[in-house]
Chains A and B, each alone.
Chain A
Amino acid sequence: MADRTKILVVDDDRDLVDILTMVLTSHGYETVQAYDAPQGLTKAEEEHPDLIVLDVMMPEGTEGFHVVWSLRNRPEAYFQNVPIIMLTAIHQKTPLRFYPDSGDGTYEAGEYLPVQGFVDKPVEPRDLVSEVERVLAIDREP
């Protein structure tokens, strides 16, 4: 591969974004940062990263969750396929899988969140790196 793998990190905690960027950069990845949901969507559009690490941004809202659906609902193949890793506290995974209703009909009740991986918060750097490797490996399978 000519280009380095590009990873977009989205979290409203700037310190965490910078720390995760450090970890990923030190493992040879190129990184792009976004500090809220709209910025995350814009960056995804502009940069077309190979992977998105996305904070669930709960419980203020379910912003991260809506970011996932906004991306997946776009017609372009890229947005439907770009692998996403969600950063969640352990049990936030559960409601994400059973999330009842979008309210605007963009997805159906009980639908699974279309993401490829989860990393628990507080993030252990080692866990993040191995999850990134795992997801990218699957993504590169023919």
Chain B
Amino acid sequence: MDVGNKQHQIPETPTALPATEVLIGRIGWLIRLRWVAVGGVLIFVEAVRRLLPIQLFPSRLYTVLGILTLYNLTVWLVFVRLRRVRTDAVGSSRRDTGAVVGGLARFLLPRVPPGVNYYDRPAARAAVFASCQIGLDLVFLAALLHFAGGIENPLRVFFVFHVIVASILLSRRATYAHATLGLLLLSAVALGEFSGVLPHYSLQSHWRPDAYLDPHLVGTQLFLLGVTLYVSAYLASSIAARLRRREVDVVVLSRHLAEKAVHLEAAYAEVSAGEKAKSQYMRKVAHELREPLGTIKTALGVVLEFAPGAMANRTRDLIRRAHHRAGELAEVTQELLSLSRARGSRATVEHTTLDPGEVSRLVLDEMRPRAADAGVVLTVQIGEKQKEIMGDPEGLADLMDNLLSNAIRYTPRNGTVTFSVQVAHGKLAIEVKDTGIGIPQEDLPRIYEEFFRSKTAREYSPDGSGLGMAIVKAVVDQHQGTISVESSPGHGTRVRVELPAAG
């Protein structure tokens, strides 16, 4: 059996490496954010010039903005390429999961629990790329601030935004590094202006014109900014780390689920293979038994009918019993064959085009004499011209045979059995109604069990294997149909089977 040897591969879930995808996605977000910043600065400059009593140097600011725009365009082009390479890598060969991620990338990428293949080479590349951008963004902000008052400009707190972006994209250490870079850049601007290396572009605001030369004031501002940046770095990266852990949990969980699903699938395959083997075995045994049993019965029949008349009555009686019992056994084996056949899959049982009316007539040929022997009136309603349906003719014959046999067997003399077959509304409806002994309510749920016979049935008739309704149910299931049984003990039973007639 190949099922046991089959290797069950754990499917490569795309969630196994979310960080890289997320990181690349966030770089796109950073680029879009930068466009917003460019627009924002533009509007801000124009608004401030018109509305506030502040002196600005738009030409210098616009120069910086122009460079920023060019820079963002370049970044965007690099980003597009990075993303395409990424998609190709995913599409073609397996990516190098858990591969060598260099020292710089290891410093930049957020740490993840061991055992999770969280990063690959593209992730490392993306991290370096993102880190460079944030660094350059800090430089641009410092330049903008320099041309708009330097330390005077209250918008120096905007460095916090960069720190937050860094915390979302990069490791805690990298976030602190970027906070430090921001602080160093502003310090450089402040010290440059203080020492006269850089010119001071005064805003002419509420600050004293020479405030940038006051070491206490500058020192305090830088200190406050430093505290703000480091506290922001700490808080933001803590939150980001927590979210990232959650993300990893989800990844681990989904991998577990995928593994479980594979195991379940394997277990199911084993069970169904076992079930199939069992069914084949049953079929083989029944088939092996049926032929010799039939021959034994025929042989005994020949003895009973054609042996010289001088057979002792006792001998004749014994042979008659043996003949009868062989017949019973042959019938049970035949029913077991029918059952295993009906329980076989659609692969083993061929469904063909069939005329339900024709199948009914064949079955009725067998049933009419039986009904006559039992003194039961058999009423038949078969639709005039039956449409053909797809199905297993042998199974359908088994189904009708068993329903009718039951109805005739359990209906007392002078009772009636009504058999109707109709194809309508895309369904084949088969109904057998009798005025027989009925089925006790408490036994109804068990009638489809193999070898089950209700007490009333056993008392009424010694014949019957208890396989009939199991066969009926199996045939119904194989045809994806429905069956309903209504019974009133002492008054009769009505069984209705509906099979899909289309296709």
Contact = CB atoms under 8 A, between A and B. Distances in A.
Interface of A: 13, 15-16, 19-20, 22-23, 26, 59, 89-95, 97-100, 109-110, 121-126
Contacts, number: 82
Contacts of A126: 301, 305
Contacts of A109: 352-353
B294 A123 contact: yes
Given A97-B358, A97-B393, A90 B291 contact: no
B359 A89 contact: no
Contacts of B334: 89-90
Nearest to B392: A95
Interface string B347-361: 000101111001100
A98 B352 contact: yes
Nearest to A91: B397
B298 interface: yes
A94 B302 contact: no
B359 A16 contact: no
Contacts of A26: 306
Interface of B: 287, 290-295, 297-299, 301-302, 305-306, 326-327, 330, 334, 338, 350, 352-355, 358-359, 362, 366, 393-394, 396-398, 401
Contacts of B359: 94
Residue among B292, B295, B393, B396 with the most chain A CB within 10 A? B295
Contact of A121 (B294, B393, B394): B294
Contacts of B398: 91
A97 B388 CA distance: 14
Contacts of A20: 298
A88 to B, nearest CB: 11
A16 B294 contact: yes
Contact of B298 (A90, A95, A110, A123): A123
Contacts of B292: 13, 15
Contacts of B358: 97-98
Contact of A59 (B287, B294, B327): B287
Contact of B330 (A13, A19, A100, A122): A122
Given A94-B396, A97-B358, A16 B298 contact: yes
21 contacts: A13-B291, A13-B295, A16-B295, A19-B299, A20-B298, A22-B302, A91-B397, A93-B397, A94-B359, A95-B393, A97-B358, A97-B362, A98-B354, A98-B355, A109-B352, A110-B352, A122-B298, A122-B326, A123-B294, A125-B302, A126-B301
B290 A100 contact: no
Given A95-B393, A110-B353, A90 B401 contact: yes
Contacts of B338: 91
Residue among A15, A22, A122 with the most chain B CB within 10 A? A122
B463 to A, nearest CB: 16
Contact of A122 (B294, B393, B401): B294
8 smallest A-B Cβ distances: which pairs?
A122-B294, A122-B297, A94-B397, A94-B393, A91-B397, A100-B352, A16-B295, A123-B298
Residue among A16, A23, A91 with the most chain B CB within 10 A? A91
B128 to A, nearest CB: 67
Contacts of B394: 91-92, 94-95
Nearest to A120: B366
Contacts of A122: 293-295, 297-298, 301, 326-327, 330
B352 A125 contact: no
Given A26-B306, A91-B338, A94-B397, A125 B362 contact: no
Contacts of B297: 122
Contacts of A23: 302, 306
A112 B106 CA distance: 79
A126 B396 CA distance: 29
B302 to A, nearest CB: 5
Given A123-B294, A125-B302, 10 more contacts: A26-B306, A90-B366, A91-B394, A93-B362, A94-B359, A95-B352, A98-B393, A109-B353, A122-B301, A122-B326
B335 to A, nearest CB: 11
Contacts of B352: 95, 98-100, 109-110
A90 B401 CA distance: 10
A124 B152 CA distance: 117
Contacts of B305: 125-126
A110 to B, nearest CB: 6
Contacts of B353: 98, 100, 109-110
Residue among B291, B293, B366 with the most chain A CB within 10 A? B291
A94 B362 contact: yes
A68 B306 CA distance: 31
Residue among A16, A22, A99, A109 with the most chain B CB within 10 A? A16
Given A90-B366, A125-B306, A19 B295 contact: yes
A65 to B, nearest CB: 13
A109 B327 CA distance: 35
A20 B306 CA distance: 12
A26 B355 CA distance: 41
A118 B354 CA distance: 20
A16 to B, nearest CB: 5
A33 B327 CA distance: 25
Nearest to B305: A125
B298 A124 contact: yes
A15 B295 contact: yes
A110 B306 CA distance: 40
A91 to B, nearest CB: 4
A64 to B, nearest CB: 13
A89 B393 CA distance: 14
B279 to A, nearest CB: 14
Contacts of A90: 334, 366, 397, 401
A125 B301 CA distance: 6
